[in-house]
Amino acid sequence: MFRFAFYRLLQAIPVLFIVISLTFMLVHSAPGGPFSADKAVPPEVIKALEAQYNLDQPLWQQYVSYVGDVLQGDFGPSFKYPGRDVTELIAAGLPATAELALYAMLVALVIGVSAGVAAAMRPNTAQDYIPMSAAMIGICMPSFLLGPLLVLIFGIHLEWLPVSGWGDIPGDKILPAITLGTGYAAYIARLSRGGMLEVLSQDYIRTARAKGLSEPVVVAKHALRGGLIPVIAFLGPAFAGLLGGSFVVETVFQIPGLGRFYVQAAFNRDYTMILGTTVFFSTLIIIFNLLSDMLAIWLNPKLRQQTQGASL
């Protein structure tokens, strides 16, 4: 297993290198720059600023020095927040975003898996159609619509829950988590329904029933593990997506998270900030994909033994 993880991490190096190079080229080819503003700034000031951040050097030199810095774990200073490092800013935004992503994932898993499993147990009945139609709506509904809608209903009309903030008032984390998690819950519901339907038609499920096991044991013990493999494979990309895709939710609910920094950085042409967050998110995506692959292997005895054999 360790050897497997090691090789996968080795493969990640060229991937990250390509991500850095492509992003570097893209941000620098976008029109405008970090110091172009509405107000007319004297050219000498801009020159001085560009010199300060090495932006007057040829592009390839900037690239080489940037890659060099990243290799040492230094994402450079932010252009828009003078005096602050990109690393520092990421560290400031990450806790809120990570917490939000974690809650959203819990919401997605609990709702998604139970809806999917319930649907698969009685396919082509109301127990299947209702959750699956709801899932379809959940996939179609963008979070910038769902968020305000939930705020309107639960925050303003019913006055059950706070409408914004993060960690200030009890319960203010519920609506953001639901808003962010719903879309993923819908995907997970569809994946687990498909996986469970496939497994429930297997011969070994018939064997389990023929042994006189009760339906809950058949489903929980014999079917769930195989049926949720597609969901586990989806967890890695989903978690990374939750971390990187929380911008809308963070804006709607005024959460001081990473997503907002990320999008603001793009508007501001804050080159180092864009690059830094992109590399950071890419690393997360690679790590979470690796983790979900390892989980899938660990759950399958045959694969588990093969990879264990490899590490001997």
Partner 1 sequence: MALLEVEGLKVYFHTRNGVVKAVDNVSFSVDSGETLAIVGESGSGKSVTCYSLLDLLPQPPAKIEGGSALFDGEDLLQCDRSSMRHYRANEIAVIFQDPMTSLNPFISIGEQLIEPLIYNPDSDRRKSREDARARAIKLLDEVGIIDPQSRFDSYPHEFSGGMRQRVMIAMALINEPRLLICDEPTTALDVTIQAQILELIKKLQQSHDIAVIFISHDLGVVAGIADKILVMCEGTIRETGDTDTIFYNSKNDYTKKLLAAIPEGAKISPNSKKQDRPLVEVTDLKTYFRHGGKATQHGGIIKAVDGVSLEIQRGEILGLVGESGSGKSTLGRSILQLAPTTAGLVNFDGQPLTGLNAKQMVPWRRKMQMIFQDPYASLNPRMTVYQTLAEPLLYHGLANSKTIEQQIRQLMDDVGLAHGQMRKYPHEFSGGQRQRIAIGRAIATKPELIIADEPVSALDVTIQAQILDLILNLVERHNLTMLFISHDLSVVRCISDRVMVMNKGVIIEQGNTEALWKNPQQAYTQQLLKAIPIADPKLERSRLSGL
Cα distance between residue 230 and residue 121, in whole Å? 17
Which helix (H) or strand (E) segment holds residue 150: the answer is helix 143-150
Kindly state the smallest distance separating residue 215's Cβ from partner 1, in Å.
9
Beta strand spans in the chain (E): none
DSSP 56: T
Of 93, 90, 72, 89, the closest CA to residue 81 belongs to: 89
Kindly state the smallest distance separating residue 212's Cβ from partner 1, in Å.
3
Residue with smaller CB distance to partner 1, 263 or 295: 295
Size of the chain, expressed as the number of residues it contains: 312
Answer left, alpha or beta for residue 73, where phi above 0 means left and psi between -120 and 50 means alpha: left
Kindly state the smallest distance separating residue 298's Cβ from partner 1, in Å.
11
Backbone angles phi, psi at 34, to 5 degrees: -60, -25
Residue with smaller CB distance to partner 1, 38 or 203: 203
Residue with smaller CB distance to partner 1, 80 or 222: 222
Kindly state the smallest distance separating residue 302's Cβ from partner 1, in Å.
5
Residue with smaller CB distance to partner 1, 39 or 302: 302
Whether 102 contacts 238, CB under 8 Å: no
Kindly state the smallest distance separating residue 111's Cβ from partner 1, in Å.
25
Residue with smaller CB distance to partner 1, 59 or 310: 310
Cα distances (Å, whole numbers) of residue 266 to 23, 59, 198, 302: 11, 19, 44, 46
Taking the CA atoms of 172, 264, 245 and 280 in sequence, report the sign of the dihedral they define.
negative
Residue with smaller CB distance to partner 1, 263 or 299: 299
Kindly state the smallest distance separating residue 296's Cβ from partner 1, in Å.
12
Cα distance between residue 232 and residue 59, in whole Å? 42
Which helix (H) or strand (E) segment holds residue 159: the answer is none
Residue with smaller CB distance to partner 1, 20 or 191: 191
What is the contact surface with partner 1 in residues (CB under 8 A)?
A: 202-204, 206-214, 217, 221-222, 225-226, 299-302, 305-306, 309-310, 312
128: number of Cβ within 10 Å: 19
Kindly state the smallest distance separating residue 194's Cβ from partner 1, in Å.
18
